[in-house]
Each structure stands twice: as structure tokens, then as C-alpha cells.
Amino acid sequence: MSDMEHGKPGLREGWILLYDGIIFDLDGTLWDSTEQVAMAYNKVLERHPEVTDQVTSDKIRGLFGLPLDEIAVRLFKSVSPEHARKVIVECCDYEVELLALTGVDVYEGLEETLKKLYKKYKLFIVSNCQEGYIQCFFKIHPHLEQYFTDYEYHGRQKLSKAENIKLIASRHKLASPVYVGDTEGDLKSAREAEVPFIHAAYGFGKVTGCDMSIASIRDLPGLLDIC
């Protein structure tokens, strides 16, 4: 079923564009930090020999986008859920420090894409990440912050991704935003927030029943008919 069939704005009526804002997921949509995150987690686990689970970038890639507590339980199966949640807090604290030191590349073509989109749309980020993670993204890539109007994340509001999408839309009086993400969870969050969804198929996950998708971040302006 298409977004128009859902009764939601977003797709074209003739050549008229109906979006008034684009909300992006971060991991798997704007950059891929999984290698550096795995490195940070494994460094922290040196202090926790009771956690015997191996952390790899592939494992991280399969879990990104989920709430942090859920990632902890799925990643650290060798300890209790309560202990796993405590350990992942340490991991996240060190993760932000390490990312700021090592840096993370954004997906190729991101800035040129943002420049085009910025001319017509307000741009936002909504992620399930912890406190400091989006800030770290902008610390590593300060030239990109100028393109974004606002951002929200689970670590600040303790809200679900769908609720944060709604919060951004309400705060900025968006009548018809669209969410761009890469996982099934992103699709479900967009549906729950009642906004159209564009699948970043180059990212971490596959989705079913998606109306629109892009094979590269560079494809987004073309999908929205921006020169």
C-alpha cells in the first residue's frame, strides 16, 4: 500500500512536492560507525571478563537502530540483562570519546546531497542513540551542522523513535515530513508516527512493504525532483 493510499502526504501529485521536512536516521543512513563502535566496546570489555560475548562490527550493524537497552540484552547474552545494561552504558561513554578521536567517514556524497536538499527543505535527525552521539557526529563533521535545523534522540527524551519523530514535527510545525532510514525498525517507527518512509537501501537492513527506496544517499534529491 502506498503512502497516498494510507491517506498521508509525501508522494507526488503531478509534479507538486508535498513534503515540508526531511528527518534522517543517523547510523546506516548518514554514516557507518560500526567498526569504531565495536573497537570501543571491546576495549571496555577488557575490564569485564565476565562478559564473554564477542563484539564485531557485523553484530553491531545488525543491532543499530534498536533502543540501547535492547541492544545490550541481545549483544551481551553471557550476563544478566541488568548487568548487560550497566556494561553498555560504559561502552557508550567510551564510544563517544573514541569516535571523536578516530573520526568516522560519512557516506560518499552526503554533503552535496544535503546542500541540494537544504535549499528546499528543513532537515532533521532522529536517532535511538545515547546522549552525546549526535553531538559527536557534528564534532567530527562540523561543516554538516549548518544544514540541520534540529535533532532528537532517545538518550535525551527517553522517547521511542516514533515519538521523537512526532516531537520534531510538532516542534517545527511540519505538516508533511518524511523519514529516511535503513532498517525495518525505522519503517515501523515512521508508520507509527504516520509519516512516509524512504528506505536507505545502502544501509544496515532490509525492509518489506516499502514504498520508496534509494541505493545511495545521492539518489535522494532525484527522488524528490530537486535539481
- Per-residue pLDDT band for 211 (boundaries 50, 70, 90) equals confident
Quick check: 41 and 87 in contact, CB under 8 A?
Answer: no
> What distances in angstroms separate CA 40 from CA 56, 116, 185, one per listed residue?
11, 34, 24
Cell of 219: 539518489
103-162: pLDDT as tens digits = 999 999 999 999 999 999 999 999 999 999 999 999 999 999 999 999 999 989 889 999
Domain range 21-31+107-223, its CATH number among 3.30.360.10, 3.30.70.100, 3.40.50.1000, 3.40.50.720: 3.40.50.1000
For residue 177, give Cα distances in angstroms to 8, 114, 126.
10, 16, 12
What is the grid cell recorded at 15? Answer: 509534479
Instruction: Collapse the DSSP code of 16 into the 3-class scheme (helix H, G, I; strand E, B; otherwise coil) and give the result.
Output: strand
CATH code given to domain 34-102: 1.10.150
Q: Which candidate, 125, 116, 95, 99, places its Cα nearest to that of 29?
A: 125
pLDDT digits (tens, 9 = 90+) for 39-89: 999 999 999 999 999 999 999 999 998 888 999 999 999 999 999 999 999
Please give the pLDDT value at position 157: 84
Q: Answer yes or no: are the C-beta atoms of 218 and 18 closer than 8 Å.
A: no
- Give percent of the chain above pLDDT 90: 84
**Where are the domains positioned within the chain?**
21-31+107-223, 34-102
> Is 225:202 a contact under the CB 8 Å cutoff?
no
Q: Are strands 212-214 and 122-127 parallel, antiparallel or unpaired?
A: unpaired
Question: Which set of grid coordinates corresponds to residue 188?
Answer: 515501523
